[in-house]
Amino acid sequence: MGKTTGFLEFDRKVESYAPVEERVKNYKEFTQPMDKKDLKEQGARCMDCGIPFCHSGCPLGNLIPDFNDAVYLGKWEKASEILHSTNNFPEFTGRLCPAPCEEACVLGINEDPVSIENIEKNIVETAFKKGWITSRPPVSRTGKKVAVVGSGPSGLATAQQLNRAGHEVTVFERDEKPGGLLRYGIPDFKMEKHIIDRRLEILKEEGIVFKCGVHVGKDIKAEELKEAFDAIVLTGGATVRRNLPIEGSDLKGVVQAMDFLSQNNRRVDGIKQLGEEIKATDKHVIVIGGGDTGSDCIGTSIRHGALSVSNFEIMPMATKERPKDQPWPFWPMRLRTSSSHKEGAERFFSISTKKFIGDNNGNLKGLLTTEVEWIKVPGQRPQLKEVEGTEKEWKCDLALLALGFTGSETTIADQLGLEMDARSNIKASEENYQTNVPGVFAAGDQRRGQSLIVWAISEGRQAAHHVDKYLMGESYLPLKGEGDLPRI
């Protein structure tokens, strides 16, 4: 370890943002880069703990103190090798991860944690700039063919790992371009899409074949795929959206967040044929749902030029501090304020929408809400109770439903006879990621339910190991936290 007193000498620093009035004029990323001196000091804050709890906080088991130290020592290429040994796509997680590693960082017990995510992003961006990230096709091929269905972060990680093991990998994607929610969910202002394209070029050079515009289960039957390939990995995400089945939900102006976000991402990509336009321009917008998707709807509505943007959350407002019953190093449910929240949205908590109100032409013109409280019942889940006399009408001509996802689609599962789990995901054990049908595997949101990019990559890597083992009898692909140092 390079500097033993770094955490005493330097305060935490992270990237700052361009001012709101500038950044909302376009869909570009708006973080302001940190200089190398600052990054070196941030790397020096790491205490190289005997038991680095950051490892256990990270679903990938990233070797965090090792790359922190390399950054402190100015060994950026080494840092990139260490980082890529456990994470195929640090440029995604370095921008978008909520950083459970930082919540688990030992320094975070009584100081601000090490700025691990910023360091990660700067390592991978330096590596791309310097040309250190190049394609590394396998030296030999096994002759085995694997189909990966879905090209989100999980499918891409699965594909890259299996290709590295020498298998011939074809990724099937029903959208027009690969990337999953990275491309058609998450807005460009959080991650510009050339970041995905840059990585895809490498995957293609390594030999992975992408077949876009192919909906498995419709354009090609899952049974045909099973015949043609030695193994199939299902990484189709948790795409079934949660509805709000209340009066007026069929009014024009009540829109699913994913329809709004995916259309906007396609618009930003220059696509003209978008179907019926969904825009927030000159509208009073209410976003129902306080998670990542809701936050992305806020930032997008503000960039459209909405008259007002409100955000409803049915849960009570969390505290900014870590709650006492969620001690370090666990992930705490605390109040998170995203860059989009700061762009001009008003947030309301403990509020439930009872009814959408329409005009005579079937257009949404308002919402009826009530305040709610959560009653704790010993041994049971908290129960929701309306607070009497708190009904309120809101002016609203665009309501965006950002209520999450209820699980995986079932077409492929039906065609292959796959079992689903109790939460409507494809059932595949964490032990080997294999479904009840031999040779058919599942990973990412389609297996674990709606989750995070870092988990999607982690699941993809784990599943790839087990697919390789299924095909070859043994696997040298690393499991979580094992790293893979010789090949980046």
Ligand X SMILES: Cc1cc2nc3c(=O)[nH]c(=O)nc-3n(C[C@H](O)[C@H](O)[C@H](O)COP(=O)(O)OP(=O)(O)OC[C@H]3O[C@@H](n4cnc5c(N)ncnc54)[C@H](O)[C@@H]3O)c2cc1C
Binding site for ligand SF4 (CB under 6 A): 46-49, 52-54, 64-65, 68, 105-107, 114, 116
Structure tokens at 147: 């189909």
CB distance 443 to 433 below 8 Å: yes
Helix (H) or strand (E) holding 266: helix 257-268
- For residues 132 and 204, give the distance between their C-alpha atoms in angstroms, rounded to a whole number: 17
Nearer to ligand X, 187 or 358 (CB): 187
- CA–CA distance, 254 with 320 (Å, rounded to integer): 32
| Residues 356-395 as x/- pattern, contact with ligand X by CB under 6 A | ----------------------------------------
Residue 14 CB, shortest distance to ligand SF4, in Å, is 14
* Closer by beta carbon to ligand X, 394 or else 455: 455
Identity of the residue numbered 96: L
The pair of three-digit structure tokens given for residue 268, joined into one six-digit string = 């930003």
> Residues 352, 369: contact at Cβ < 8 Å?
yes
Q: Which does 217 bind (CB under 5 to 8 A by kind): ligand X, ligand SF4, none?
A: ligand X
Residue 174 binds to ligand X (criterion: CB under 6 A): yes
Residue 97 engages ligand X in binding (rule: CB under 6 A): yes
100 binds, among ligand X, ligand SF4, none (CB under 5 to 8 A by kind): none
Q: How far is the CB of 17 from ligand X (least distance, A)?
A: 15
- Quick one: what does residue 261 bind among ligand SF4, ligand X, none, with the CB cut-off 5 to 8 Å set by partner type? ligand X
Selected binder of ligand X within 163, 256, 369, 451 (CB under 6 A): 451
Please list every residue from 252 through 291 that binds ligand X, using CB under 6 A: 261
Angstrom distance (rounded) from CA 94 to CA 482: 20
For 103, 253, 273, 349, the CA distances from 276, given in Å and listed in that order, are 42, 12, 9, 32
Cβ within 8 Å of residue 389, ≥6 positions away: none
Report the candidate in 127, 175, 130 with the shortest Cα–Cα distance to residue 149. Answer: 175
Establish if 456 lies at the interface with ligand X (CB under 6 A).
yes
Q: Which of 166, 444, 449, 478 contacts ligand X by CB under 6 A?
A: 444
* Residue with Cβ nearer ligand SF4 (76 or 405): 76
Give residue 328's identity as a one-letter amino acid code.
Answer: W
Give the one entry of ligand X, ligand SF4, none that residue 127 binds, where binding means its C-beta sits below a cut-off of 5 to 8 angstroms depending on kind: none
Amino acid at 305: G
Q: Which is nearer to ligand SF4, 48 or 484 (CB)?
A: 48
Q: How far apart are CA 88 and CA 199, in angstroms?
A: 10
209 binds, among ligand X, ligand SF4, none (CB under 5 to 8 A by kind): none
Nearer to ligand X, 188 or 292 (CB): 292
Contact partner, 254, from ligand SF4, ligand X, none, Cβ < 5-8 Å per class:
none
Binding residues for ligand X, rule CB under 6 A, total: 37
| Residue closer to ligand X, measured from CB, 175 or 468 | 175
Helix axes of 64-72 and 116-130: crossing angle, nearest 10 degrees = 60
Q: Which of residues 408-427 bind ligand X (CB under 6 A)?
A: 412
State yes or no: residue 91 binds ligand X (CB under 6 A).
no
Bridge partners, residue 32, by sequence: 16
Exposure on the CB side of residue 19, measured as CA atoms within 13 A? 2
Q: Measured from the CB atom, is 75 or 211 closer to ligand X?
A: 211
Residues near 438 by beta carbon (within 8 Å), at least 6 away in sequence:
470
Cβ atoms of residues 70 and 42 within 8 Å: no
- Tell whether residue 181 is a contact of ligand X (CB under 6 A): yes
- Residue of 148, 162, 165, 216 that binds ligand X (CB under 6 A): 216
Q: What are phi and psi of 168, to 5 degrees?
A: -90, 115
125-144 binders of ligand X (CB under 6 A): none
- Report the alpha-carbon distance of residue 284 to residue 278 in Å, rounded: 13
Choose among ligand SF4, ligand X, none what residue 52 binds, the Cβ cut-off being 5 to 8 Å by kind. ligand SF4
Please say which residue, 42 or 80, places its beta carbon nearer to ligand SF4.
42
CB atoms within 10 A of CB 235: 31
The span from the CA of 267 to the CA of 396, in Å, is 24
Q: Segment near ligand X (CB under 6 A), from 44-52, 99-107, 350-358, 453-461?
A: 453-461
Q: Name the residue with tokens 């909906």.
A: 215
Query: Taking CB under 6 A as the rule, does residue 154 contact ligand X?
Result: yes
Q: Which amino acid is at 269?
A: D
Residues 281-340 within binding reach of ligand X (CB under 6 A): 292-293, 296
Q: Which does 64 bind (CB under 5 to 8 A by kind): ligand SF4, ligand X, none?
A: ligand SF4
- Rule CB under 6 A: say whether 452 interacts with ligand X: yes
In the block, tokens 């419709």 appear at: 218
346 three-class SS: strand
Q: How far apart are CA 236 and CA 214, in angstroms?
A: 12
442 touches ligand X by CB under 6 A: no
In the bound state with ligand X, the residue whose beta carbon lies nearer, of 176 and 282, is 176
Other Cβ atoms less than 10 A from the Cβ of 276: the count is 8
Among 72, 172, 356, 470, binds ligand X (CB under 6 A): 172
Contacts with ligand X by CB under 6 A lie at 96-97, 149-155, 172-175, 180-181, 185-186, 215-217, 235-237, 239, 261, 292-293, 296, 412, 444-446, 451-454, 456
